[in-house]
Structure 1
Amino acid sequence: MAEPTHLGAAVAGDSNAQIDVICGPLINFKNMNVTPSSSIWRGSVLIVTNPGQTQPRLILRRLGPVGGNPSINGSVSNDQGITIDGLRLFEDPGKAFWRFSISLPLESYEARWEYSIPGFQYVEGQEVKSPWDFVVPSINQSMRLMFHSCNGFSVGTDMNAWLGPNLWNDVVRMHAQKPFHVMIGGGDQLYNDGIRVDGPLKEWTSISNPHKRRTHNFDNDMRARCDEYYYKNYVRWYSIEPFKAANGRIPQVNVWDDHDIIDGFGSYTDHFMRCSVFRGIGGVAFKYYCLFQHHVAPPMSTYTTDAPQTMHAVNGTAGADPRQMENTFVLENQAEDDSWIVGNRPGPYVEEKSRNLYMRLGKRIAFIGVDARTERTRHQVNYPDTYNLIFSRLEREVAAANGDIRHLVVLLGVPIAYPRLAWLENILSSPIIAPIRLLNKRFGFAGGLFNQFDGQVDLLDDLDDHYTARQHKRERKVFIQRLQEFAKANSVRVTILGGDVHLAAIGRFYSNPKLGLQSVNDPRYMVNIISSAITNKPPPKAVANLLARRNKLHHLDPNTDETLMDLFDQQPGGQEKSASWNKVTMPSRNYACITEVDAPVANGDDPAQQNDITFIALPKDGHSPLHTGETNAGAKHSAADGFSNNSGIYGGLDIAIRVEVDPQNRKGTTEGYGFSIPPLAYDPTKDNARPTSQSHSVLSEFQRAGSRPQSARPQTVN
């Protein structure tokens, strides 16, 4: 669009100009371009400044290898650096967003780079701790990953008991000891729920009549106030230490979940989710999700009821509203980042297409981040054709990699291998709740049991969010089966990340033991690393123990079983977090470290040719260790320290869950629990299972659904 005259075009060329910074820097990883002769790392740095600034510049310098090899250091110590001009993504009378796009070659060694921004100073006078540095892997190295979720506090949290994001201090310590190449945010990178308690939706939330609340307008005035709330909440949270320190030094990859918008978004009843206020805040939240978490320009306008052109997506985004564009600059005609897998059509409650992610995480790891919020309803997580887009991209990338990709890491907002709570769903949605709801409506009885939006039981939106909810079970089954087929076809180990539930656990799918498959040969062996929350408070011990008691053996299909793994062999730091018998759920703040095993075993690096110590007698079920990497899993496992990577099979993954010991300790001291995941060497001659006709018919229907008109697509059923 045309430049607003009062803002003016950015002035370039003055390297001594003062840059008044409101928030940042935030560093992101974007993707890698891999060819037979080279690998290019791509990322970006974002800052938010006062409007009307001189175009900022970033100076990027290579420092040399991590650990400091003098002979190599000497060749780069005089590196004068690369100058990168800032690209303005968005500017209005209150702020401007600038992105510096970084592209650098991977070397034969793990390299440290640093960057600085001349003239950088905070408008609030905070100390500037520059230059900032980050680490990239060598050309032959897979990335070392840190995974987190639920990085904020729910409304009503007792802050005297839960003192800030202290666990990020441990992340920073771990990063200093052995650098993370990327940190993966599994959703709820911040909590925007306060918008209905002390923000612009407070008055709307207090409307007692559900019909009036549902039909309330979302006009431009309410949009502007919500816009200001989301922006300021991002700035506040992203400026809090020690989270702020990690933001500038560990490249991020994020998907969003409900709290990035508002609690339960997408999982309330359809007629309520379609109300204007929810659709309006969905658009505003998407705007700042694009800017802060992905460093891309936002939509030109977001949904309002007094600009009808914004109420329906045009070419996959909300139509332009001249009032929102007044005195505002939005970068236009930007090419879609190649890390995005963009959905075919907008979500049902957000006038934007989903943004799923594909990235290459170093030499042997591919990554998929599923946007499980933009298309979510109470009866679906994603459109069938979105899954088709994801798997088509995977097949193309694996084929182009010529056998280099050995792992696929799949990021989901919520766990997919997790205990069922169907009995609780049945109770909370049964007729016995109706008279209690009536008493609540008339007299406020049991007010804490019901949410303020659609009047349903408050816990139901959390249960309905889960893949194991009855509405999502069919979609879940087909998704897992497609991952199994991908693993078989490409001999690629699939590992799943999930958060949301505010406790740590390790779920896994695996072949029914009657098939006689060792895990190293088993494409159905897929671990779900459940790490949550890094900041929010955990659930009570009783809830964690209840989930542990519900840790039954489940049968996804005749060939695939699932259950949680015993990992927590002792209480962290001697602090009692759960029952002594509960080895599977840990209700304490936590995050995960994932490091590729890079030490070859004695007889070579081919997992198909391992010595006998690799194999164990197959147990009767998954309540026992399934392979040597699960044997002695826990605090004494060599992977528990979070940086060792020699406990499993070469090319496998060492996993650590770092668990907070004491929430009152601002240092964020943790205890680690470790195990390892073997690589996959799939031999079809050893797999006696054949796909059942039922699974084939479900898969075929699911795949065909992607080409049907939306009105003809079947609803997800139990």
Structure 2
Amino acid sequence: MSSSDPILGPILFLDDIRDGKMHLAALLIAPMGQKVPPVIVGDAPAEMVKLAEPAGKSIHRARFSVSLDQPSFYHWNGTDYALAGVPDGAGRLAFVSCNGEEHGDLDRDATERNAMWARLAAEHDEHPFSLILHGGDQVYADEATRGHPLSEDWPDRLPRDPSRADLASLRDHLRERFAERYITLYQAPEFAYIAARVPALMQWDDHDICDGWGSLQRSRTYSPVGQTLFEIAREAALLFQHGTVEGDLPARFRDPAGLHLGWSVSAPGLRILGPDLRSERTRREVMGKGGWQMMEDETRAASPGRTLVLSSVPLLGPRLSLLELLMVLTPRMQKYEDDLRDQWQSRAHRDSWLHMLELMARIADRADQQVTVLSGEIHLATRGEMSLPSGDTLHQLVASGISHRAPPKAWAKVLGALAMLGDSPLKGHSIRMARIPGQTQRYIAERNYLVLERKGEDWSAEWDFEAAGRSPALSL
């Protein structure tokens, strides 16, 4: 990138909602040494700071606030960018996940790769979105470890005792590679268009670090190389997924020190929770003390209206423990054990799963509160239901992926067959996987995104499929 290359951005993030305003951060990525025009709100420039200089770029952030419940706009570099706001009793939200693939993602044909982003951007022009929720795997960083002797064979082989100098070299290598991947994806016109006009809330998942992070053997994740990888992945996520850096987390984050990256925001009649299912994850626990405390606190807090809970890994699903047992007993299939251990339904996470299901039921137990879980990760679309003592239903909506190509239809059928068995892990709360309106199968092997719409106290959801098109609305 030369000094004459264009500046990438703005990329909008929702910092917080308070005092009747949306507090926003706009990320701008410029060639080194190039002056960045100010972001103008009203007649005044927003405060702008330089956050980092990775991969030969200069990354700046402007923070500003606009009305929460009214349309507004901001101005940058000759263009006015309209914002829909979050109207009281109205509004539309988009949910996406899995923006990439494990291998060769940066070499894909850009038009093919970003086809669903283009559709989402066109839909925004017709019916503007208030927010866009990113449910995990915003970037596939699995190949970032390549090209350095300490991490070339990660996670299969690791150096026994790397020196400080070698680890410093690895840190520089990973910092450059993570930045290159984020910047390449974010400069796609289809993504950049909507990112400048719809504030984002992001929750990370394993590929934002590496495939299976937290489900790998402890000898890998707690090794010097593993800890260096996590450190740089977290640094990149703060910068490119939240527009911030260490020690400067927005108010929506529960832990200012960032030991976990769980967050929550609230508007009239709407609360959105993004627990961190990766920072504290181990092979036995999905979250640590801080993450669980955040969810306990949110469960006790009164929040009339709809609570949307992002769970990057689907919370409701078929009895994958049966498939997991089969893989453990079959040597040729044991390489997939980590993939199943990533799931809430894994035998290793049974207690964590029951705990989270109980928390969801407790939120929904109040007469004036409803809860809906949004998930991605599986590269398929589906939905699930859990019965509640009140007679209401906890809905889970799965939309995945926005650019990851769908797995074989045979895999969707396998999961559909498992889902027919049903499950009741929490006494008195039966779980079933249901069909998306207009579909004959429980799992749909097509790229897709989800749209949530609010009209007064009523919410509905629609999936947009690459081939099948729009689903009929599902009342929530």
TM-score (norm. length: structure 1): 0.61
1:171-201 per-position Cα deviation (integer Å, ceiling 9, x unaligned): 11211111110000001111111224xx324
1:468-520 per-position Cα deviation (integer Å, ceiling 9, x unaligned): 01111111111111221232246310110111000000011113xxx6x543x
- The change in CA–CA distance for 1:458 and 1:133 in structure 2 (over 3 A counts) is farther
- The gaps in structure 1 that reach 5 residues or longer are 1-17, 62-80, 119-129, 299-332, 345-351, 437-448, 450-456, 520-524, 571-581, 599-650, 663-669, 678-718
- The change in CA–CA distance for 1:249 and 1:458 in structure 2 (over 3 A counts) is farther
Which residue number corresponds to residue 148 of structure 1? 96
- The change in CA–CA distance for 1:203 and 1:560 in structure 2 (over 3 A counts) is same
- The gaps in structure 2 that reach 5 residues or longer are none
Whole-Å Cα distance in 2 between the matches of residues 233 and 385 of structure 1? 30
1:339 aligns to 2:207 (yes or no): no
Q: Secondary structure at the match of 2:254?
A: strand
- The change in CA–CA distance for 1:21 and 1:490 in structure 2 (over 3 A counts) is farther
- The within-5 A match list for 1:399-410 is 405-410=304-309
1:327-383 per-position Cα deviation (integer Å, ceiling 9, x unaligned): xxxxxx64x421001188xxxxxxx611101102x3211010011011111111101
- Is the CA contact (8 Å cut-off) linking 2:373 and 2:397 kept in structure 1? yes
- The within-5 A match list for 1:187-586 is 187-196=136-145, 199-201=146-148, 204-206=151-153, 210=157, 212-213=158-159, 215-216=161-162, 219-298=167-246, 334=248, 336-342=249-255, 353-360=259-266, 362-393=267-298, 395-396=300-301, 398=302, 405-430=304-329, 432-433=330-331, 457-489=334-366, 491-511=368-388, 517-519=390-392, 525-551=393-419, 552-570=421-439, 582-586=440-444
Divergent runs of 4+, >6 A: none
Whole-Å Cα distance in 1 between the matches of residues 110 and 28 of structure 2? 33
Tell me the amino acid that sits aligned with residue 528 of structure 1.
Q
Whole-Å Cα distance in 1 between the matches of residues 127 and 144 of structure 2? 39
Aligned-pair identity in percent equals: 23
- Is the CA contact (8 Å cut-off) linking 1:205 and 1:213 kept in structure 2? no
Q: Secondary structure at the match of 1:29?
A: strand
Q: Secondary structure at the match of 1:471?
A: helix
Whole-Å Cα distance in 2 between the matches of residues 155 and 55 of structure 1? 34
User: Larger radius of gyration, structure 1 or 2?
Assistant: 1
Whole-Å Cα distance in 2 between the matches of residues 42 and 539 of structure 1? 38
Which residue number corresponds to residue 587 of structure 1? 445
Tell me the amino acid that sits aligned with residue 474 of structure 2.
F
Bigger shift: 50-59 or 217-226?
50-59
1:7-63 per-position Cα deviation (integer Å, ceiling 9, x unaligned): xxxxxxxxxxx99754221011222214xxxx11211111022334556411125xx
User: Offset of 1:92 from its aligned partner?
Assistant: 6.5
- The change in CA–CA distance for 1:385 and 1:159 in structure 2 (over 3 A counts) is closer
Q: Secondary structure at the match of 1:378?
A: coil
- The change in CA–CA distance for 1:654 and 1:251 in structure 2 (over 3 A counts) is same
- Is the CA contact (8 Å cut-off) linking 2:460 and 2:473 kept in structure 1? yes
Whole-Å Cα distance in 2 between the matches of residues 485 and 355 of structure 1? 23
Q: Secondary structure at the match of 2:140?
A: coil
- The change in CA–CA distance for 1:161 and 1:131 in structure 2 (over 3 A counts) is closer
User: Offset of 1:425 from its aligned partner?
Assistant: 1.2
- The change in CA–CA distance for 1:296 and 1:509 in structure 2 (over 3 A counts) is same
1:658 aligns to 2:457 (yes or no): no
1:429-465 per-position Cα deviation (integer Å, ceiling 9, x unaligned): 23x52xx6xxxxxxxxxxxx6xxxxxxx332221111
Whole-Å Cα distance in 2 between the matches of residues 204 and 90 of structure 1? 24
Whole-Å Cα distance in 1 between the matches of residues 215 and 39 of structure 2? 42
User: Offset of 1:88 from its aligned partner?
Assistant: 2.1
Tell me the amino acid that sits aligned with residue 319 of structure 2.
R
TM-score (norm. length: structure 2): 0.91
- Is the CA contact (8 Å cut-off) linking 2:436 and 2:471 kept in structure 1? no
- The within-5 A match list for 1:130-145 is 130-138=79-87, 140-145=88-93
Which residue number corresponds to residue 75 of structure 2? 115
Of the three residues 43, 51, 57, the one matched with 2:32 is 51
Whole-Å Cα distance in 2 between the matches of residues 554 and 394 of structure 1? 24
- The change in CA–CA distance for 1:51 and 1:676 in structure 2 (over 3 A counts) is same
- Which is bigger in relative contact order (C-alpha 8 A, separation at least 6)? 2
Which residue number corresponds to residue 30 of structure 1? 15
